[in-house]
């Protein structure tokens, strides 16, 4: 039996801010923009702010309404990335098999190392303590026989949590969770299941494998297994972590947003095409920008549901472009996708006409070598400079 650990930092960006400015401790801190930010969204907030209903991805303006006395901070991505690097180094002290999931989160395969500690709780505590010593921050840790259980466990007692679920406890422990906690069940799948009166994992176990496959295709089998605490996915060490993307450097720097938008549409279409060829969906879209002075930034958005069509990739990347372009000429533009998953819901729920169009385009593009088909947005829009 495997022993898998999932580690996730608590209110990561906000906790770093509170660490570095004692005046912020114990207060509702909201990272993502200043109070008057028109377009900003919340990156994260301290647990003190969560009491007021503030959460990641909420518009700053809404957070101001919910938590008027909140402390609003634009945030310092360079600093968070540096802290993230320190945390990664800690992970490798404990296991060579580390899968970095995001800036503040990783899976560690601890199989075979169990005997180094008296109990798995001791192992979890050791990791939390090393993190605290190294970066003075708290992490939540979950340990279980597979990734699904480990991740659910780390989330279970946040913040500063430690939850160990031995294999023999998995069945009972899982039963009461809402189906939305099952990996790959998004809003839409949850709605279908709710219409069948399936609300908890215990309910989900009443569905036969056949009925789940009939309704959800390949994903149905996975749901059947996850409901029983079965998850065969391996921890994939960093070098294998899947992400893909495309970038392009311009012969001459470009400042016109209309031109950049066309290039972005091409890049998004390339990336979408490659995702679909791999039968993968992506949760995180990253824009890479290099300005004329060679400063390079990357900005990411994580979506509530995994996507793999050009429009979703383009729209997300375009928003990041608009938010970050400033007035500076751009040397390099790139689009990357990560947090890839074989679960997608496009075939079930998206607009069937768009789906069909995408399929036809993919087929033509495969046959002729890319690109042969252009979408309207690649042409400059009226009024663009
Ligand atoms: P999370 O681990 O999802 O959130 P968190 O660490 O802030 O809080 P929790 O205690 O619930 O784990 O994300 C890690 C960081 O990634 C978060 O601090 C900020 C950033 N982030 C965004 O910028 N936008 C988002 O929509 C999300 C979800 C996270
Ligand atoms: Mg976190």
Q: How confident is the prediction for the chain on average, in pLDDT?
A: 89
pLDDT per residue as tens digits for the range 329-359: 999 999 999 887 766 654 444 566 777 777 7
Predicted confidence at residue 368, as pLDDT, reads 65
Predicted confidence at residue 103, as pLDDT, reads 87
Which residues have a beta carbon within 5 Å of ligand 2, which is an ion?
8-9, 12, 104
Q: How far, in Å, is the centroid of ligand 2 from the Cα of 158?
A: 9
Ligand 1, atom 29, residue with closest C-alpha: 43
Q: Which of the pair, 378 or 298, is modelled with greater confidence?
A: 298
Burial class of residue 164 in the structure, from the number of CB atoms within 10 Å of its CB (0-12 exposed, 13-18 middle, 19+ buried): buried
**C-alpha to C-alpha distance for 47 and 53, rounded to whole angstroms:** 10
189 lines ligand 1 (CB under 6 A): no
Predicted confidence at residue 347, as pLDDT, reads 42
For residue 302, give the ligand nearest its CA. 1
Predicted confidence at residue 378, as pLDDT, reads 42
Q: Which atom of ligand 1 sits closest to the CA of residue 158?
A: 10
For each of the domains in the chain, give its residue range(s) and CATH number, in order of start: 1-165 (3.30.70.270), 175-226 (1.10.150.20), 243-378 (3.30.1490.100)
pLDDT per residue as tens digits for the range 177-226: 999 999 989 888 999 999 999 999 999 999 999 999 999 998 899 999 99
Q: Which atom of ligand 1 sits closest to the CA of residue 10?
A: 10
Q: How far, in Å, is the centroid of ligand 2 from the Cα of 123?
A: 20
Q: What are phi and psi of 232, to 5 degrees?
A: -95, 5
Lowest model confidence (mean pLDDT) among 9-18, 85-94, 226-235, 342-351 = 342-351
Q: Which of the pair, 312 or 352, is modelled with greater confidence?
A: 312
Q: How far, in Å, is the centroid of ligand 1 from the Cα of 323?
A: 19
Predicted confidence at residue 370, as pLDDT, reads 54
Segment 245-266 shows an average pLDDT of 92
Predicted confidence at residue 38, as pLDDT, reads 85
Closest by CA position to 113, among listed 84, 128, 132, 91: 91
Q: Which of the pair, 383 or 25, is modelled with greater confidence?
A: 25
In the chain, pLDDT over 70 holds for what percent of residues?
Answer: 91
Q: Which atom of ligand 1 sits closest to the CA of residue 57?
A: 26
- Indicate the pTM of the whole model: 0.68
* Percent composition of the chain: helix, strand, coil (DSSP 3-state, to 5): 45, 20, 35
Q: Name the pLDDT band for 242 (thresholds 50, 70, 90).
A: low
Q: Name the pLDDT band for 29 (thresholds 50, 70, 90).
A: very high
Segment 150-156 shows an average pLDDT of 98
Q: Which of 153-162, 303-312, 366-375 has the highest mean pLDDT?
A: 153-162
Closest by CA position to 165, among listed 378, 342, 4: 4
Contact call for residues 192 and 203 (beta carbons, < 8 A): no
Predicted confidence at residue 345, as pLDDT, reads 55
146 lines ligand 1 (CB under 6 A): no
Ligand 1, atom 24, residue with closest C-alpha: 43
43 lines ligand 1 (CB under 6 A): yes
Q: Name the pLDDT band for 379 (thresholds 50, 70, 90).
A: very low
Contact call for residues 43 and 75 (beta carbons, < 8 A): yes
Predicted confidence at residue 198, as pLDDT, reads 97
Ligand 1, atom 11, residue with closest C-alpha: 11
8 lines ligand 1 (CB under 6 A): yes
Q: Which residues are catalytic?
A: 105
228 — alpha (psi -120 to 50), left (phi > 0) or beta?
A: alpha
Contact call for residues 316 and 284 (beta carbons, < 8 A): no
Ligand 1 test: best mutation among 11, 17, 31, 44, most atoms within 8 Å of CB? 44
Predicted confidence at residue 348, as pLDDT, reads 40
Q: Please tell me the number of Cα atoms within 13 Å of 276 on its side-chain side.
A: 22
13 lines ligand 1 (CB under 6 A): yes
Q: How far, in Å, is the centroid of ligand 1 from the Cα of 362?
A: 34
Q: Which of the pair, 207 or 240, is modelled with greater confidence?
A: 207
Contact call for residues 280 and 307 (beta carbons, < 8 A): no
């Amino acid at each position: 039996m495997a022993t898998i650990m999932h580690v996730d930092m608590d209110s990561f960006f906000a906790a770093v801010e509170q660490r570095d400015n004692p005046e912020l401790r114990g207060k509702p801190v909201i990272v993502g923009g200043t109070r008057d930010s028109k377009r900003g969204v919340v990156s994260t907030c301290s647990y003190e702010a969560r009491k007021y209903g503030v959460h990641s991805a909420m518009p700053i303006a809404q957070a101001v309404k919910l938590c008027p006395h909140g402390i609003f901070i634009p945030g310092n991505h360079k600093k968070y990335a540096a802290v993230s690097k320190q945390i990664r180094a800690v992970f490798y002290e404990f296991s060579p098999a580390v899968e970095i999931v995001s800036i503040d989160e990783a899976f560690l395969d601890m199989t075979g190392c169990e005997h180094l500690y008296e109990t798995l709780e001791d192992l979890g505590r050791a990791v939390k303590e090393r993190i605290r010593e190294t970066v003075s921050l708290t992490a939540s840790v979950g340990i279980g026989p597979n990734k699904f259980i480990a991740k659910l466990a780390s989330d279970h007692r946040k913040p500063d949590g430690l939850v160990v679920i031995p294999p023999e406890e998995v069945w009972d422990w899982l039963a009461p969770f809402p189906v939305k906690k099952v990996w790959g069940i998004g809003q839409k799948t949850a709605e279908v299941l709710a219409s069948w009166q399936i609300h908890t994992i215990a309910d989900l176990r009443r569905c036969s494998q056949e009925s789940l496959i009939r309704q959800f295709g390949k994903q149905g089998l996975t749901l059947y297994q996850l409901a029983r605490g079965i998850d065969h996915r391996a921890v994939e060490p960093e070098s294998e972590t899947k992400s893909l993307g495309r970038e392009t450097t311009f012969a001459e720097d470009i400042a016109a947003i209309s031109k950049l938008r066309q290039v972005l549409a091409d890049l998004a279409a390339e990336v979408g095409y490659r995702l679909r060829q791999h039968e993968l969906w992506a949760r995180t879209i990253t824009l890479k920008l290099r300005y004329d002075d060679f400063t390079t930034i990357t900005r990411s958005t994580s979506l509530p549901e995994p996507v793999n069509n050009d429009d979703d990739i383009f729209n997300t990347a375009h928003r990041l472009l608009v938010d970050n372009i400033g007035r500076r000429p751009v040397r390099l533009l790139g689009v990357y996708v990560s947090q890839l998953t074989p679960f997608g819901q496009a075939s079930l729920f998206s607009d069937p006409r768009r789906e069909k169009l995408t399929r036809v385009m993919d087929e033509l593009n495969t046959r002729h070598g890319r690109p042969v088909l252009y979408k309207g947005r690649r042409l400059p829009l009226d009024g663009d400079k």
